[in-house]
């Protein structure tokens, strides 16, 4: 039992207490996931059939890694029989076998967020409600909230409180939209992500025999990242575990970061109530990170009021201080990070896969992608617009979806006239109206085109085109009966005209679209090969599509290669990297401007910060930009409050010096000052920046500079624009007359000016574009 040797005492207890309810509540990097993994290995070693073990993880990637580790202890074949995966993937699989109970076809389609949004948009459009009030994204998140709290359409209409709340929010029709959306999905034979949990709950509560079957099957249940389960997931676990009560959950309340998706931190508290005999284990030693990183993270998280007090320490090396880089712009920030990676790769022999760039929002990736590409550094972006969400990939997948589920009208509308085959929108609408009026699926109309043709009101030419299209789909379906998914998909890509159409576009984007199709086809071959190796492997198209629908947490399942990882902090949970860059540490970005109005929201942002920092093993970098291109314009930004919450003893500035030049009557005098004076403080308020521009005290040098006309801050090594100087009076086409108060930037192409205009107030302009004239 070598695998037990590497455990500390509380870890050992958690791994070897096999029966009964157990909760491990412990800080980041303390070995929770490791405990869970070893516990599964220990269960199997002790003769428990892997078939009776259910392990739920937060991402598919985590499940895959866990399986690999378990395989090392118990062997590959036992590890394969484990039921392990995300809530969504495990319960999708169960729903497929039990779909008939709920009136769904077993090959139901799984809608990702984008599919769901498309369906909802159509519902909203058909209802002719104000699309400005009922914004699809907003409505969808509302519906998602209801579903995750098990509020079905009926339950909604039986709950006056909810209805009143929506009415007060001027969203009186939400209930109706919800009903129509649910009907549309059902008609399409499709479930969205939330349905996978909602319907599982329905299955387990309405059909006791099904519940009993899975209770007997899953005698041992383990859940990682328990702090981020939502109500719906909580109920599923509770129902399944209620017979044997062999349930082990591990989590960290300080890492609860999904409350916007309904995650309920109180599930952890409830655990003791639900299972009064539960054993609780706490782990205190962090094995992942240096002391410096652990201590810094502790200081920040201790600012949260809402938390269990935990003691987390590291006995690893003290390690380097966290390095902070202040950049001038988002591009500058990205260049710094890529240059730094390049350097560490060369000087410290770090692999590219040792690095992670973590950010708050997906839109931040582009600058980093550009910068990494320039240096030929290989990288992978996780999440965001993943491979499977790219248009061309989704188009081919839509063809394949129709082959397994004809009722999937979302897929049908995607492909019926793509590539263009003369079946325009008018025709499509006619078909929809026609089918709706007779209450039959469109596919039934297409199946019986000859019969319906006279009533359809379409000309013969169009009828022929529809007939040809549908005959082609039917031919693919026949092919699917005997051929493998790869061959069928290849045929679809060719015969549908998709490849030919994409090949016509010879721009780099066009070429990469064709490559993506090729890559999708490759992944099918990989899939077939993989399924062949599994004992009860299922190389069917439905299984392929299901895997894809659920793989949204990784870009492209292949996890090969030595690449830098780019991902949002949310996706980084549970992972670890030797070197982490936490970027965009600015107010309104992180904490996000949408989540800093209440204390609760701010505490969740702080937990995110804690998660991000605790991903780092050896080195952490913080970066922020003093200005950023956002929504098409340059905006000034201020360092994140989280930066000042990290005790200064844990951090070190890479470019701490700012040079302030004060122009006065006797010439120019320069002062170098530290941006971060003795106490941890930044320019939190706009006013503080102003003090540098006017005759005020500079806090850092504690010196009053008088008489002072203006000042500018330049980069230590920087230069500034020759033509326009701070203090110049200038005219701008639109804003009128003003005075330049601030110039910033080293790249002559990118010098920014702050100008106070007599009528328009303060504006930030890029000199190159602003076309200011001196007056
Ligand atoms: P998180 O909260 O971030 O999910 P965690 O509590 O799940 O973290 P793990 O990922 O299980 O922590 O462990 C963190 C790192 O510490 C891993 O690399 C793991 O292999 C290592 N580790 C855990 N326990 C020990 C131990 N007893 N001896 C040596 N290394 C350990
Ligand atoms: Mg973990």
Q: Does the pLDDT at position 618 exceed 90?
A: yes
The set of residues, in sequence order, having a beta carbon less than 8 Å from that of 337 and lying 6+ positions away, is: 357, 368, 371, 581, 583, 621, 623
Q: Which atom of ligand 1 is nearest to the CA of 575?
A: 3
Distance CA 549, CA 619 (A): 35
Q: Does the pLDDT at position 27 exceed 90?
A: yes
Which tokens is 155 given?
Answer: 């339950």
Q: Does the pLDDT at position 332 exceed 50?
A: yes
Distance CA 453, CA 459 (A): 9
Q: Does the pLDDT at position 222 exceed 80?
A: yes
For the segment 641-654, the average pLDDT, to the nearest whole number, is 90
Quick one: pLDDT at residue 58?
A: 87
Q: Is 30 annotated as a binding residue?
A: yes
Q: Where is pLDDT greater, at 675 or 351?
A: 351
Quick one: pLDDT at residue 512?
A: 72
Q: Where is pLDDT greater, at 682 or 352?
A: 352
Q: Is 32 annotated as a binding residue?
A: yes
Q: How far is the CA of 614 from the centre of ligand 1 (A)?
A: 11
Q: Where is pLDDT greater, at 326 or 152?
A: 152
Cis peptide before 591 (omega within 30 of 0): yes
Quick one: pLDDT at residue 751?
A: 75
The ipTM value here is 0.99
Q: Does the pLDDT at position 657 exceed 70?
A: no
* Catalytic residue of the set 78, 225, 253, 354: 225
Helix (H) or strand (E) segment spanning residue 56:
strand 53-57
Q: Is 28 annotated as a binding residue?
A: yes
Question: Does 34 contact ligand 1 (Cβ within 6 A)?
Answer: yes
Distance CA 577, CA 618 (A): 8
Atom 19 in ligand 1: which residue has the minimum CA distance?
31
The set of residues, in sequence order, having a beta carbon less than 8 Å from that of 331 and lying 6+ positions away, is: 367, 370, 371, 629, 750
Contact (Cβ atoms closer than 8 angstroms) between residue 222 and residue 63: no
| pLDDT-derived band at 308, boundaries 50, 70, 90 | confident
pLDDT digits (tens, 9 = 90+) for 42-81: 999 999 999 999 999 988 888 888 999 999 999 888 888 8
The region that residue 38 occupies, defined by phi over 0 for left and psi between -120 and 50 for alpha, beta otherwise, is alpha
Question: Does 282 contact ligand 1 (Cβ within 6 A)?
Answer: no
pLDDT digits (tens, 9 = 90+) for 289-307: 999 999 999 999 999 987 7
- Alpha-carbon distance values, 226 to 247, 258, 306, 433, 434 (Å): 12, 11, 17, 47, 49
Distance CA 149, CA 201 (A): 11
The set of residues, in sequence order, having a beta carbon less than 8 Å from that of 402 and lying 6+ positions away, is: 408, 411, 412, 415, 473
Percent of the chain with pLDDT over 90: 53
Quick one: pLDDT at residue 667?
A: 40
Contact (Cβ atoms closer than 8 angstroms) between residue 424 and residue 417: yes
Quick one: pLDDT at residue 700?
A: 39
653 strand-pairing partners: 324
Question: Does 10 contact ligand 1 (Cβ within 6 A)?
Answer: no
183: how many CB neighbours lie within 10 A of its CB? 12
Question: Does 378 contact ligand 1 (Cβ within 6 A)?
Answer: no
3-state class (DSSP) for residue 664: strand
pLDDT digits (tens, 9 = 90+) for 78-121: 888 899 999 999 999 999 999 999 999 988 999 888 889 889 99
For β-strands 577-582 and 616-625, DSSP reports them as parallel
Quick one: pLDDT at residue 715?
A: 34
Quick one: pLDDT at residue 733?
A: 74
| pLDDT-derived band at 506, boundaries 50, 70, 90 | confident
pLDDT digits (tens, 9 = 90+) for 532-587: 877 778 899 999 998 887 765 544 444 568 999 999 999 999 999 999 999 999 99
Q: Does the pLDDT at position 29 exceed 90?
A: yes
Is 615 one of the catalytic residues? yes
Atom 28 in ligand 1: which residue has the minimum CA distance?
6
Residue/partner pairs of 683-688 with CB below 8 Å, 24 or more apart: 683/638, 683/639, 684/638, 684/641, 684/644, 686/638
The region that residue 485 occupies, defined by phi over 0 for left and psi between -120 and 50 for alpha, beta otherwise, is alpha
Ranges of beta strands (E only) in 644-692 are 651-653, 657-664, 667-674
Contact (Cβ atoms closer than 8 angstroms) between residue 192 and residue 111: yes
- Taking alpha carbons only, the member of 490, 482, 473 closest to residue 524 is 490
pLDDT digits (tens, 9 = 90+) for 682-722: 332 333 333 333 333 344 333 333 222 233 333 333 333 54
Atom 4 in ligand 1: which residue has the minimum CA distance?
574
Average predicted confidence (pLDDT) for the chain:
84
Place of tokens 């002790």: 46
Quick one: pLDDT at residue 170?
A: 87
Distance CA 180, CA 328 (A): 49
Q: Give the relative orientation of helices 541-549 and 391-404 as an angle to the nearest 10 degrees.
A: 140
Q: Where are the alpha helices (DSSP H) in 375-441?
A: 391-404, 409-415, 425-438
- Taking alpha carbons only, the member of 53, 109, 715, 671 closest to residue 403 is 109
| pLDDT-derived band at 746, boundaries 50, 70, 90 | low
Contact (Cβ atoms closer than 8 angstroms) between residue 511 and residue 388: no
Distance CA 130, CA 137 (A): 14
Quick one: pLDDT at residue 706?
A: 28
Quick one: pLDDT at residue 691?
A: 32
With residues binned 3-state (H G I as helix, E B as strand, rest as coil), the percentages for the chain, rounded to 5, are: 50, 20, 30
Atom 31 in ligand 1: which residue has the minimum CA distance?
287
Quick one: pLDDT at residue 664?
A: 38
Domains, the chain, with CATH or none: 9-100+198-283 (3.40.50.300), 109-188 (1.10.10), 313-383+557-653 (3.40.50.300), 391-534 (1.10.486.10), 710-774 (2.40.10)
Question: Does 9 contact ligand 1 (Cβ within 6 A)?
Answer: no
Q: Is 27 annotated as a binding residue?
A: yes
Quick one: pLDDT at residue 516?
A: 81
One DSSP character per residue, 384-400 reads: SS-GGGSHHHHHHHHHH
| pLDDT-derived band at 486, boundaries 50, 70, 90 | very high
Atom 8 in ligand 1: which residue has the minimum CA distance?
29
Q: Is 420 annotated as a binding residue?
A: no
Quick one: pLDDT at residue 569?
A: 95
Quick one: pLDDT at residue 30?
A: 97
Q: Does the pLDDT at position 771 exceed 90?
A: no
Distance CA 508, CA 611 (A): 38
Question: Does 252 contact ligand 1 (Cβ within 6 A)?
Answer: yes
For the segment 499-516, the average pLDDT, to the nearest whole number, is 80
- Alpha-carbon distance values, 359 to 225, 241, 591, 613 (Å): 21, 37, 11, 11
Distance CA 546, CA 191 (A): 11
The set of residues, in sequence order, having a beta carbon less than 8 Å from that of 163 and lying 6+ positions away, is: 156, 157, 175
């Amino acid at each position: 039992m070598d695998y037990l040797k590497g455990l500390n005492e509380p870890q050992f207890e958690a791994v070897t207490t096999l029966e009964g309810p157990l909760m491990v509540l412990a800080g980041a990097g303390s070995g929770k996931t490791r405990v869970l993994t070893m516990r599964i290995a220990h269960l199997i070693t002790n003769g428990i059939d892997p078939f009776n073990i259910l392990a739920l993880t937060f991402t598919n990637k985590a499940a895959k890694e866990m399986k690999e580790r378990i395989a090392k202890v118990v062997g590959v074949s036992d590890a394969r029989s484990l039921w392990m995966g995300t809530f969504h993937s495990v319960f999708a699989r169960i729903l497929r076998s039990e779909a008939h109970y709920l009136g769904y076809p077993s090959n139901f389609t799984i809608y990702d967020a984008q599919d769901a949004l498309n369906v909802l948009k159509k519902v909203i459009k058909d209802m002719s409600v104000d699309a400005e009030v009922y914004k699809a994204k907003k409505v969808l998140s509302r519906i998602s909230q209801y579903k995750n709290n098990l509020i079905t359409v009926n339950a909604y209409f039986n709950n006056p409180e909810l209805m009143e709340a929506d009415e007060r929010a001027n969203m009186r029709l939400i209930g109706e939209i919800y009903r129509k959306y649910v009907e549309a999905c059902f008609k399409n034979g499709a479930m969205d992500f939330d349905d996978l949990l909602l319907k599982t709950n329905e299955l387990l509560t309405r059909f006791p025999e099904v519940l009993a079957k899975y209770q007997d099957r899953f005698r041992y249940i383990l859940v990682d990242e328990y702090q981020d389960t939502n109500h719906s997931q909580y109920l599923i676990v509770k129902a399944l575990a209620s017979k044997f009560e062999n349930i082990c959950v591990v989590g960290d309340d300080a890492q609860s970061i999904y409350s916007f998706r309904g995650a309920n931190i109180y599930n952890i508290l409830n655990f003791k109530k639900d299972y009064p005999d539960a054993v609780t284990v706490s782990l205190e030693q962090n094995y992942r990170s240096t002391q410096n990183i652990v201590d810094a993270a502790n200081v920040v998280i201790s600012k949260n009021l809402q938390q269990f007090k935990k003691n987390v320490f590291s006995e690893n090396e003290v390690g380097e201080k966290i390095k902070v880089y202040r950049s001038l712009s988002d591009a500058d920030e990205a260049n710094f990070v890529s240059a730094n990676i390049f350097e560490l790769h060369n000087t410290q022999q770090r692999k590219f896969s040792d690095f992670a760039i973590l950010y708050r929002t997906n839109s931040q990736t582009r600058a980093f992608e550009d910068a990494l590409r320039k240096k030929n550094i290989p990288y992978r972006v996780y999440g965001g617009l993943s491979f499977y969400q790219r248009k061309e990939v989704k188009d081919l997948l839509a063809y394949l979806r129709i082959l397994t589920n004809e009722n999937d009208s979302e897929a049908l509308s995607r492909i019926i006239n793509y590539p263009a085959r003369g079946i325009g929108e008018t025709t499509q609408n006619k078909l929809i109206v026609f089918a709706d009026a007779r209450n039959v699926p469109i596919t039934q109309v297409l199946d019986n085109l000859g019969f319906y043709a006279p009533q359809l009101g379409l000309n013969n030419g169009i009828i022929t085109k529809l007939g040809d299209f549908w005959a082609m789909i039917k031919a693919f379906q026949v092919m699917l009966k005997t051929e493998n998914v790869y061959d069928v998909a290849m045929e679809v890509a060719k015969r549908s005209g998709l490849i030919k159409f994409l090949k016509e576009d010879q721009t780099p984007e066009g070429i990469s679209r064709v490559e993506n199709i090729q890559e999708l086809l490759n992944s099918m071959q990989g899939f077939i090969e993989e399924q062949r190796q599994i004992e009860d492997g299922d190389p069917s198209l439905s299984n392929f599509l299901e895997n894809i629908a659920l793989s949204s947490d990784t870009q492209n399942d292949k996890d090969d290669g030595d690449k830098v990882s780019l991902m949002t902090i949310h996706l980084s949970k549970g992972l670890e990297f030797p070197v982490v860059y936490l970027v965009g540490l600015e107010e309104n970005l992180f904490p996000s401007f949408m989540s800093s109005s209440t204390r609760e929201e701010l505490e969740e942002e702080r937990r995110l910060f804690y998660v991000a920092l605790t991903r780092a093993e050896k080195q952490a970098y913080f970066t922020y930009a003093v200005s950023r291109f956002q929504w098409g314009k340059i905006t000034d930004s201020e360092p994140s409050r989280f930066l000042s919450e990290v005790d200064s003893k844990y951090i070190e500035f890479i470019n701490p010096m700012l040079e302030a030049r004060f122009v006065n009557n006797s010439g120019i005098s320069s002062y170098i000052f530290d941006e971060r004076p003795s106490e941890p403080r930044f320019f939190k308020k706009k006013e503080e920046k102003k003090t540098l521009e006017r005759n005020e005290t500079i806090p850092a040098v504690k010196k009053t500079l008088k008489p002072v006309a203006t000042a500018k801050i330049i980069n230590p090594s920087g230069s500034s624009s020759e033509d326009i100087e701070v203090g110049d009076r200038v005219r701008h086409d639109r804003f009128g007359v003003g005075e330049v108060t601030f110039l910033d930037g080293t790249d002559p192409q990118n010098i920014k000016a702050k100008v106070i205009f007599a009528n328009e107030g303060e504006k930030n302009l890029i000199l190159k574009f602003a076309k200011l004239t001196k007056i």
